[in-house]
Every structure is written in structure tokens, then in C-alpha cells.
Structure 1
Amino acid sequence: MHRQVTDALQHAASQRQQQQRWRQPQVRPQGVLLASNDYLGLSEHPQVIAAYQQALQHYGTGSGGSALVCGTQSPHLYLQQQLADWLERDNVLLFSSGFAANFSTLLQLGKLYHKIHADRLAHASLIDGMRASGVRWKRFAHNQLAPLLPELTATDQAHLVVTESVFSMDGDSPCLAQLRQVAEHADLYVDDAHGLGVVGADGRSIGGVMNQRQLPLLMVTFGKALGVGGAAVLAPTAVIDYLHNFAREYIYSTAISAAQAAAVSAAIKLVQSAEGSSLRQRLQENIAHVSRLAAEYGIPLMAAPNTAIQLVPVGTDSKALQLQQHLRNRGFVVAAIRPPTVPQGQARLRLTLSASHTPAVLTQLMQELAQCLQH
């Protein structure tokens, strides 16, 4: 490679390493996993695995092409209709990942709006899509939707407001009443990656409390509570038809496999079932248990008490890494979250709770964490 390029690579790597922010993939460590987004434990559920295996036998390992060429098979169509019926939306478009769904949709739809307003903590995929669209966009203070109303009500031009149902690095959610107010004056785009399957009595999350008129653009992922992988955008048919023809990440990507689609469908059926309700209840009990122990042991938590994403602020990158390693040595796999994922000086431990965790294990975790923080 050209020397200028290799010099730039070395400089970038050196800077990140000095800041203790250099990242590399690692084989998952042994221990109790508290860094996964598998909130209901469905990635290991026998019914999800069986659906995957049966579809593999019937359809093979890959889709063989893009969705518009030959990659669409019966399980894809079933999943699309299943999602549309469950979340009461007109139409669905499947993507290989949440990043691809957010980026591609905002890239293509964003340019149709006069202005986009995005929560300051919006996911990188949302930010990249807005930037690439070329439209004027602006961040608003985290979860502060009401201050947008004067600007939105003062014009007849098309505005888009972009936010998330549950913020992955803070664990909180926007005010539903404010979302409904904003929806009267602007189109809404909500990333529901961390809500679907776990939020709400039926697991429908934001899609269950806001209809398509209020929330015309909804993105959901299959790799969090559903335990598989992939994503979808749910929207009016005119939007989905437009994306079929202009969303390049969809048009020119190999479709998710039929087996993957079948596994997602099995996971949705579980979420809709009595067992799904039981798993959500167990998760809420685990969240409440951790909140109680945090208060008892004096452990500070950033997140709202009813979220599966529990965050322990520690400040410096080195402290976060030190605590992460200490807990790993004790058998607990947690995530140390550092800039640029979060702002400078706001490094934190991210504990993601699951219905598969037992109260005894979580008690041991919090005891170890309390001891770590005291030293």
C-alpha cells in the first residue's frame, strides 16, 4: 500500500491505543454473559433452533441472491406478513442488519424532507444515513421532544423526527406523550432495536402503542430479544415500494437466508405466546432485583429502573477496563463502554440482563461489583 496510507493507518491505531480505545474482535470469554442483547434467551430456545434446522434441510444455507432477483422464498414472505399483522403495519422490507436498514432508509427517504431532527444519542447507523442523505439535519437534546414543537408547528414543510424506543447505551426511552405530540406535526422514524419483544405487555413495544398514522416509519431488529439476526422496516406500502426500487443496501445485498427468516418467525411466535409473557415477567423480576441490590450496595445506575440495559458510570476508560477485567476474572462477562461510543469522560459498564439469568447469579454479580467499586 502507499506510504501515506500506511502512515495514516499507523497514526490512527497509535492514537486509539494510547487512549485505551483500540478494539479487536475476541472470542467470547467463558462465564455468565451480561454483555449480550439476547434479552429473552431465545437464541438458545429449542423451538427457534428447530425452526432453523428444519428450514436448513428444506431451503439450504443461503438465499442465493438478492431479494429482487431470486433470494425471496416462502419463509421471507411469511415473516413479512407475520410482522405486518403483529405490529399492524401495511408493509415490511427485510434487511440483513439494523445498521443497513437504518442507513439505507434514511439515506433514501431523508432527502425527501425539508429537515431532519435527531436525538443527540441516536445510533451511528441513523447518523450516517442522515449525513449521507445530504438533507439539513440537527440534533436535539436527549429525549427533549417538546422543544421541537414551535418549529414544527410554524411550517407546512415536511419534517422528520428520528429517535429510538430504548437507547442502547443509556437504557432510557423518550416520553410517549411527547412522541404523540410531535407526531401531529412531523413524520416519526423510530429505531425499535432494543424494545421489540421485551417492552409492553405483549412485547410489541412502541409499535403496540403508536399506530402507523402516528409512527409511519418503524425499524425493528431480529438479533436482540428475538435472538436471531437481521432487521426490517415497517411502513406504508408506498414507502416500501419506493425502498424496493431505491434502497441500494437492500437491492444489491444477498437476502437473509430462508432458514434465518424461519427462525425469526419461530421467535416471534414465542414472544406472542404465554411462554413469551412468562419470559418478559422473569426479565422484569431480574431488573427489579438488580435495582434493589444496587440501592442496597450503593452502586450507581444510570438507566431507568425498568430497562434490561443497566449502566454503571465509572468515568475514565482505564477504570471501565479495569472493572471489566476484574469481573471477568470472577466469571462475569460485562461490556466496558468507552468513547467514541459514549461522550468523553462518561465511560461505563453496561450490564444487559436476560430472562435466562437467575436471581442467585445476579446477586453474586452485584456483590462482586460493589467490592470492585470500593477499591
Structure 2
Amino acid sequence: MVWFWAACWLLVSGLASFATWTYLRGLRGDAGPDAGPFPPVLVLLPIRALDEAEVGDARACLVALQVQDYPGPWRCVLAFEDGRDLAFPVASAADPARFSVLMAGPGQGRSQKVQNLLVALATRRAEETVVVTLDVDTRPPPSWLTELTRPLRAGKAEIAGGYRWMLPEDLPSRLAAIADRAPATFARPRFLNLLWGGSTAITAKALAALPIETVWQGAMSDCLSLTRAAHRAGMPPWTPRRVLVPSPVRHTWRSLFAFARRQLLLTRIYAPLAWACLGVGLVLPVIAVAWLGVAALRGDLVAIAALAAGIALQQGRASMRAEIARRVLPPADAAAVISALPGDRLLMPVAHLAQLGIFLASALGKEVRWRGRRYAIEAPDATAILAEDQARG
């Protein structure tokens, strides 16, 4: 059994290391000249701020959007539920030549984010052949819009999706960031790609073929419902490796559990194969290390060697991810990631165990809390709003 668990431990660790190395290696060929074309782009930015920190996030996001280097025309629709939102004054002060504000009204049978996106999408003009979604708690670097749309403009795909790079502000967020770097830097075949709504681009052709209004009609998750529809339509998403968007995060232990469980529960409902694969990747190493640890204490040389090799691979992945951050993130954010690396190396096992516990919690239930509301996800295309559990300004 020692050989079996040693093989399991090294197989999972080796696969994760190879995928991370492949991601890093692929960055060398991703930043060549971009000759266009550069068609008009519509950016959809749903907003719901519940405290002053989130208002600050919205302000920083709009500042970052102002300096995008995309050579073609683009505009952004800021979509709120109503004018009571705390971030509404910030949005109202944005440059009207670039930003417009609309009120989507309350969602019925879908999440408020999806409601905001649907109403904003209805403003698309015929010449806007690319639609992009963005999350308001991100700080997209100047090259974000150009790099995200590049695969679509080059004819490589009809849908492309980047991912976030969490920048933690506290210990719970730091554990979340460490765990989140694995999917962020895991190179995989397109048929396994999942979209993240904080950085997604889709062509007008794909919007019509899906069609997106039907896909989002009763959805809780904009990105996972779009992922599901895209794969079924034979349009697997492209993942541009340079689109890792800085995303400041702050959590209490309670909010961390709620956030992570919601993400994993949504994955279970919309992408059960991906959820199951993640479970294998979380459970197998823990069982293997426990078994090998006992054998190592008894002096088993195979167990000792396997544990040492697995730990070396784990630490190698941490170094590779720091190098990815250096190549992709803005210099100040990359420097923060690299300076935190020694502590992150020690916290990696803790983050893994925390993620495993939350994964097991996501196996049960259909209710989630998100942006001040409670929802029940009856099916991928059927969402019920149960209650509003937080007062708004």
C-alpha cells in the first residue's frame, strides 16, 4: 500500500507541477505584435456595493478602465439594481463619453448580477461585435481589454475568459489566494476550461448562436451557465494566459467560508465533472500524505522519499507561480506576491486542508448567500430569491 499511495501522491503533485510549468512556458509566446483588427467593444460592468470598502473597489476599477490601451472604440455600461446603491455616486461621476449608467431593476428568477448583465446587454449596438464582462472588485491593467479580446479578434475562438489573481488583505484572504492560484495557473485542454465572469469576452456570433439571453434567463451564475452552454454548442472557451486580473480581497473567516462554498457549490451544479476532478485533487493528497506519514515514522524509505519529492514539487509550483505573477501582473502587485512567498510556502498545506473542508461542505445543499441576498438554486436554469439579508444605503 505504501507504493500505491506514493504513486497517487506523486501523480497528483506531478500533474499539477506539469500544468503549472506548461502555463509558465506558454507565456513566452503570448505577447507578440497585435495587428488587429480592433472592432468596437461593449464592456458590461454590474455593480452592487454593500459597504465603503466595496465603493473603493468600484472607484479603483473605474480608474483602471479609464487607461485601457485598446486601440479601437469601446464603451462601458455600469449596471445597478437601482439608485440606492452605495457606489452609484461614484459611477455617476464617471466620464459620460466612455461610461453610461443604467438601472436594471430587481432580478426575478435569477441572480441580481445576471439581471444587471441582461439589461446592460440589451443596449448593445449593431457595430459592437465583441461583448466583455468585468467584475467591479478587479483592477484591470491597461492591456487587459486588448489581451482578453485578442483570441477572438484573431479568429482563434468565439469566447475567451481570463481569471483573477487575488491580492489578499488579511489571513483568511491569504488562504483563499493561495488556493485560488492553482486553478489560475493550471494549463488545461480547452474542453476543460471554465469561464470567470470577471473577465470574459464573447463575439456577436456566439451571442446569437447560444443565445445568451436564454442561457442567462434563470441562471444564478453568469460565467458557469455560459461555460455550460458554450461547451454544448461546440465553442470551448479560450484562456489567454496573460489575462490574470488583480483582484484585492478581504475576508473574515465566516465570509471566507461563505464565498468559497458558494463558488464550489455553483461549480458542482453547473460543471459537475470539474467539481469532481477538483475533489479528487483535494482528497487524494491528504489520504496519501497521512498514509505515507505513518509509514515514514516507521522508517519506510519509500514513504520518506515520496513525501520529500511531493513537497519539493509543491514548493516548485509556488516558485513557478511567483514567476508567472512577475511576468503578468503590474510590477507593484507582482512585488507584493513575491515578498509574501516565504510565508505562502508555509501556509500551502493549511490552505489545502481549508479548501478540502469547504469542498466537502459544498457537496450538500442548494442555498447560497451572495451580495446581500439568499438564493436557492433549483437547477442550472432555475433560481429563486429567498430573502434580502442586508440593508442597503
Shared fold (TM-score greater than 0.5)?
A: no
Which structure has more helix as a fraction of its residues?
A: 2
Q: Given the two structures, how large is their TM-score scaled by the length of structure 2?
A: 0.29
Q: Given the two structures, how large is their TM-score scaled by the length of structure 1?
A: 0.30
